[in-house]
Structure 1
């Protein structure tokens, strides 16, 4: 069983999973059940949450569009990061989207991986993270399929937030550290997320 992280907590991957080379970042969520009468269920719409990875340099910036892995660019040019595909509804148990990371292949100029989830067409659909439940991010060691750590969003305060920085993995010397973030913001698209780091 992995470590259940609290917001702002960080762990050393080298300490928690010695010799870690390949990991899977799983992200999942559920759509909150609408409260109300028997007709409320007739007006529910699917939530299309998109997981992305932003690859930042030592200045915390995105150098180019090729440093973003998302549903429109499933593979990083280094082959270090591979997105396993888009889940359009969030239906089902477990991970809704998975991203594979090969730590030794990450180019030296990349110092931080930022795992972001944003709601597709959120403003048009009047959707935000206050309508999402059980959103989580977890890291799994692919050599033994053991979960290293998990962070689950908790509490309120996500009204109007259409994007979420779930976690970061940062290079620290010869180690990598994971930090639970849970920071929400309002964006229309992934392009707006990129502007935060440009």
Structure 2
């Protein structure tokens, strides 16, 4: 049975699931009805961070145009441009044992493509969640529903996997940002522009 988290909670992933080596991280969302005339395109991105909370290189930024990172240990399933339908909108497969030792945290984000230009924000998005599945049997282990407490933000840090005493844990973050993906990328040490 999946552990359901609230914002700010942390939970052991590998300690409570002995033998777990590969996980699927599923991210999902729905767009509320609005009359802006533009389609929403939400994107998940992953930042592989060192001790300093920054990426070591552009290769540590995993998204639809760079779907593999961490020496192949993190693989993005690709861009879902509509968010239509049930279930996960985008997925990331992670081989926990193969993540480079220099990566201490794997941070998951959702951003609205061209959100500022299209006057779109997370106040118009609902049912956002992140969940972690055992890759071997698709069993849902952890789920974090973000709730509806966003308004003008165009980027969200939903959560992160992090190392602690040679185990992996998950932290439910749920922090919103303005400035979209560029603001997040800059915060995590990428040169944008």
TM-score, with length taken from structure 2: 0.94
Partner of 1:194: 185
Partner of 2:81: 88
Gaps of 5+ in 2: none
Partner of 1:66: 59
Partner of 1:184: 176
User: What's the secondary structure of 2:142's corresponding residue?
Assistant: strand
Instruction: Show CA shifts across 1:160-183 (max 9, x none).
Output: 100000011001121000000110
User: What's the secondary structure of 2:116's corresponding residue?
Assistant: helix
Residue range with higher mean Cα deviation, 175-184 or 147-156: 147-156
Q: Per residue, is there more helix in 1 or in 2? A: 1
Gaps of 5+ in 1: 35-39
TM-score, with length taken from structure 1: 0.91
**Which of structures 1 and 2 has the bigger CA Rg?**
1
| Aligned with residue 165 of structure 1, among 144, 153, 157 | 157
Alignment of 1:92-131 (within 5 A): 92-131=85-124
- Tell me the CA shift for residue 44 of structure 1: 4.5
Residue range with higher mean Cα deviation, 14-23 or 50-59: 14-23
Instruction: Show CA shifts across 1:145-167 (max 9, x none).
Output: 110101011132x2110000001
Question: Aligned partners of 1:103, 1:112: CA distance in 2, in Å?
Answer: 11
Aligned residues: 189
- Tell me the CA shift for residue 77 of structure 1: 5.0
**Please, what is the CA RMSD of the aligned residues?**
1.3
